[in-house]
Every structure is written in C-alpha cells, then in structure tokens.
C-alpha cells in the first residue's frame, strides 16, 4: 500500500477508456424515477429498525457560485445576488426538518459535509444558522471524532472567515486550487493567487482545523508538466494533510460550462499521463501516501490510518473514515444513501422548491439495490478502498461460490491479470502497484451494469 505507484504509460494509454468513478455502485445513471418519496420513507423506517442502526452522515448542498469555472461538472447556479441564499435556506430548513423527523432520535450524526457550488456563498451567520438547524433536528452527541467539513474557495473569502467557521464547529476544510499556472487559470476562468490560497491554509491551521485538503486537476487546457510541477511544489510546501488530484473529464455535451473550453488547448493523452506522473513523483517524494483513485494523504492523516487498518470507506463525498453510515443529502441535487437505497433530489431549483413547498420530500429518482447490487457494491467498495478483495470473506458473507457467481467477471478480469494490474489466488484479488492507478478498470469487470447497452450513460475516462 505504501509504495509509490509506478507508471507504465503504454498500459495507462490502453486502459484509458470511459468508466464510472464508483463513488457509488450502482452508479447514479441507473437511478430510476420509480423510486419515490414513499420508497424513501420506507427505507428510513427499515434503517431505523436495524439492531444497531447506522450512524448518520449529512451532506448539505449549497448550489451558488460567484463566477463560473469552465471545467466544472457540479450542479451550481452563478449569481452575485446574495439575497437568493435566504430563500434557498428557508426551503432547506423545511427539508431538514421533514427529513430529520423520519430518523430515530438516538441515531447519531458523525459527519457533516458542506459542498457546492460554494458553501460560503452563505455568510458565516447563515452557515452557523444551518449548523444550528441541523443540531436542533438531528442528534449530535459529544464525540471528538465528528467531522464538520466545508469546501472553500480562497478567491471569495478572507482568512478571518476561517476563524468564524471554527467557532461554528468546522474542523476540516477542502480547498479548490486546480492549478496555479496563470495561463491555465485564464483558460478555465478561475484566477486565484498563491498568496490568497496559502493565507486560507494558514488560517485553517491557526484555528486548529484537524485536516486540510487541496484539490488539484490535471488535464486542464494549457496545462504543462512544468507548470503543474511548480503548482505541486507550492502546494506541497504548504503541507496539506490530504490532496486530491482529479482527472479533468471533458464532456461538454453534459456539462454546459465546459463548452467554453477550447478543446484544442487540452493536453494530449501522453501529456495527461506526464501530468499524473509529475504529481505522483512529487507527492511520493514529499512523503504522501497514495490512498486510492485520486487521493493522497500524509501518513498520520486519518485517511491514511483508516486505509492501513481497513476502515476506509468511499461515498459520494470521496473517501471517508466513517464506514457504513447512512448518508443524508439535503439541498438541490443532493444524493442520499440509506440502507440499501439511493435517492436523489431534483437537480433544478424550481422542482426542488415546489416539492418542499407542497410538504413533500423532494426525491426525484433513486433505486432499491438488489441482493446482487449489494454484493457487488461491497466488493467494489473493498477494491476502491483497500485495493484488494477477500474471496473467502465475500463467499462467507453472501453464501456464494465466487468462481461460479463471478464467472463472467473473471473472464473480463483475465486481460488485467495478464497485464499485471491484478494478482489473484484462491483467497484474494489484489491490485498491483500499477493496477492501483486503474482501480476503476478493475472494478468495471465486476460491474453488472457496465456492459449494458440499454442504458445511455457517458462516463469520464480512466486517466
């Protein structure tokens, strides 16, 4: 786990094909409008009935941004009109109240994540109000490991805001950086100085945030390995606890803002691999551990520790140490994962608002996982988090014969075995160091939906 993933450009090129990122299995395109409010309420009742009901994780979506970054595939609304926030919050509070009322009171909240958009489009006073509302409706025990995370955009805040966030209870931050190269920043419409960014990281430290994450993106227009190397040097010098190095997925037909990107300025596949190589080399040399997918962490960070002791988990917010909590998403477009179900709110504001105004939970689509879905989700979860799957554990847990049950999957896995991405013996399927860079390709072999031509799905590429 702790070695630096070597990079075979030829192999990466060959496996660079579209596929899901497996923040969930089955993936969101398979959600169906048949999953309605009734189904969601049923799922919550079912989850309350577990012998030891799961802990709760909350995700709050704030859809507003002050200006559009062209690479963005998130659900957001560009505005400078701060008044919009208060009408949004009025609905959000009703949604929180309606949602919380379904959950038994002894179910404890262990993780809250504010994402967007830009969460601090809301003022510190408003953010405090949202957290207070959550505290009022949900059960917050005094546990020292509760995570309150906020995504931060250093361009639209000041270090003194961080002090306020700390008093609200936020103890983790995730900063968008992407790339410090001014040419790249101009091409993606995100001008952000090193100074303002470092000032925010510094403030997070001063106010005792337990963990600071920085997001970078490779594959952006005008990006060069040299420029990206400088960005990495700057970021590494600030020593964030975690780094996410995302691959840019250019899908302008799905994400409208991306139509503003000049496709001729995008790096070639070889250049993209070189960018990833730079990141891996620099981060490994600086002592960061590769957690999996796009994530790196310092050895003493919770994520790295969780991976070492097998408690790492993956959900819509990425990797997390809170295994197996039920996830409740509130706000427009938010996704919930309760028991063996997924459910999603409308992606557009009017539909979300109407549902809430009519006193309905604003679920627009979702799915009830089948037994097969749950088995495969468990397997893929292990693969994405531990880079290995215990055949015996799966057989025991689900009462199957692995070789028979996964006959087709194992056929699909064979070329990956031949290419040295995976090793397999009677007990274990394990990604090699090389294979850990292509975890999603390994997972695809076990994805029952992936080869289903009936579902029109467009995924980003592997690299």
Partner 1 sequence: MSRPVFPLADARTVADDGDSLHFCSTCAFSQACLAHGMDKRELLDLHVLVEHVGPFHAGEHVFRKGDRFEAIAAVRAGAIKTYVVDRDGRERVVGFHLPGEVIGLDAIDGEHYPCNAVALDTVWLCRFSFTRMAALASRLPELQNHLFRLLSRDIGAATRLAGDWSADQRIAAFLLGLSQRLASRGFSPRRFQLTMARTDIGNYLRLAPETVSRVLKRFQDDNLIVVDRREVELVDFDRLEELAAPILRS
How far apart are CB 255 and partner 1 at their closest, in Å?
36
List 10, 33, 51, 456, residue binding partner 1 (CB under 8 A)? 51
Query: What string marks each residue from 382 to 401 as x (binds partner 1 by CB under 8 A) or -?
Result: ---------------x-x--
| Min separation Cβ 83 and partner 1, Å | 43
Interatomic CA distance for residues 149 and 212, integer angstroms: 9
Q: Does 48 engage in binding with partner 1 (CB under 8 A)? A: yes
Q: State the alpha helices, DSSP H only, in 78-211.
A: 83-100, 124-137, 159-168, 182-188, 194-206
For residue 27, the minimal CB distance to partner 1 (Å) is 22
140 lines the binding site for partner 1 (CB under 8 A) = no
DSSP 189-258: T----HHHHHHHHHHHHHTT-SEEEEEEEES-TT--HHHHHHHHHHHHHH--SEEEEEEP---TTT-GGG
Q: Which of 3, 13, 29, 49 binds partner 1 (CB under 8 A)?
A: 49
- Inter-residue contact 57 to 326 (CB < 8 Å): yes
* 325-344 positions binding partner 1, by CB under 8 A: 339
292: nearest Cα among 215, 385, 378, 390: 385
Q: Tokens representing 446? A: 């076990």
* Residue 10 interacting with partner 1 (CB under 8 A): no
CB of 362 to partner 1, least distance (A): 25
- Answer whether 24's CB lies under 8 Å from 315's CB: yes
For position 108 contacting partner 1 by CB under 8 A, the verdict is: no
Interface with partner 1 (CB under 8 A), residue from 2, 86, 104, 452: 104
Closest CA to 15 of 410, 462, 449, 444: 462
Q: How many residues bind partner 1 (CB under 8 A)?
A: 12
Binding region for partner 1 (CB under 8 A) out of 17-25, 43-51, 165-173, 240-248: 43-51
How many C-beta atoms surround the C-beta of residue 111 within 10 A? 22
Judged by CB, which is closer to partner 1: 285, or 403? 403
The verdict on 53 binding partner 1 (CB under 8 A) reads: yes
- Taking the least distance from each CB to partner 1, the nearer of 36 and 108 is 108
The nearest distance, CB 140 to partner 1, in angstroms, is 16
Residue 84 or 374: which CB sits closer to partner 1?
Answer: 374
Longest dimension (CA), the chain: 61
Distances in Å between the Cα of 114 and the Cα atoms of 53, 121, 206, 317 are 24, 11, 21, 10
Residues that bind partner 1 (CB under 8 A): 45, 48-53, 104, 106, 339, 397, 399
């Amino acid at each position: 786990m702790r070695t630096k993933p070597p990079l075979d450009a030829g192999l990466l090129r060959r496996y660079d094909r579209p596929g899901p990122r497996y923040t969930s299995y089955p993936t969101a395109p398979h959600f169906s409008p048949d999953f309605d409010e009734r189904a969601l309420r049923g799922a919550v009742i079912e989850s309350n009935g577990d012998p030891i009901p799961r802990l709760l994780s909350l995700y709050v979506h704030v859809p507003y941004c002050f200006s559009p970054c062209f690479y963005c595939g998130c659900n957001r609304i560009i505005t400078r009109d701060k008044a919009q926030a208060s009408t949004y919050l009025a609905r959000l509070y009703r949604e929180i109240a309606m949602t919380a009322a379904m959950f038994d009171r002894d179910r404890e909240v262990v993780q809250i994540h504010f994402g967007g958009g830009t969460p601090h489009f809301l003022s510190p006073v408003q953010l405090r109000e949202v957290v207070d509302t959550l505290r009022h409706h949900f059960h917050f025990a005094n546990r020292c490991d509760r995570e309150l995370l906020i995504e931060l955009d250093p361009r639209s805040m000041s270090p003194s805001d961080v002090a306020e966030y700390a008093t609200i209870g936020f103890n983790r931050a995730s900063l968008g950086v992407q790339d410090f190269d001014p040419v790249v920043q101009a091409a993606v419409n995100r001008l952000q100085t090193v100074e303002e960014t470092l000032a925010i990281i510094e403030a997070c430290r001063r106010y005792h945030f337990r963990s600071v994450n920085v997001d970078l993106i490779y594959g952006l227009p005008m990006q060069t390995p040299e420029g990206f190397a400088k960005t990495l040097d700057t970021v590494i010098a600030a020593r964030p606890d975690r780094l996410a190095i995302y691959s840019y997925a250019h899908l302008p037909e799905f994400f409208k803002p991306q139509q503003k990107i000049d496709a001729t300025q995008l790096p070639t596949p070889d250049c993209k691999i070189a960018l990833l190589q730079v990141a891996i080399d620099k981060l490994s040399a600086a002592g960061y551990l590769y957690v999996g997918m796009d994530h790196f962490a310092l050895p003493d960070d919770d994520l790295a520790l969780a991976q070492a002791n097998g408690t790492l988990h993956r959900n819509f917010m990425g990797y997390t140490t809170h295994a197996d909590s039920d996830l409740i998403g509130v706000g427009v477009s938010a996704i919930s994962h309760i028991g063996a179900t997924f459910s999603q709110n409308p992606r557009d504001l009017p539909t979300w608002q109407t549902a809430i105004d009519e006193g309905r939970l604003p679920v627009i689509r979702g799915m009830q996982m089948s037994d097969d879905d749950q088995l495969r989700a468990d397997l893929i979860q292990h693969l994405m988090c531990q880079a290995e799957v215990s055949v015996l554990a799966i057989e025991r847990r689900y009462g199957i014969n692995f070789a028979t049950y996964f006959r087709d999957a194992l056929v699909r896995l064979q070329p990956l075995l031949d290419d040295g991405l995976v090793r397999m013996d009677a007990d274990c399927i394990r990604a090699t160091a090389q294979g850990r860079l292509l975890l999603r390709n390994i997972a695809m072999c076990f994805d029952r939906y992936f080869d289903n031509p009936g579902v029109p799905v467009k995924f980003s590429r592997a690299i």
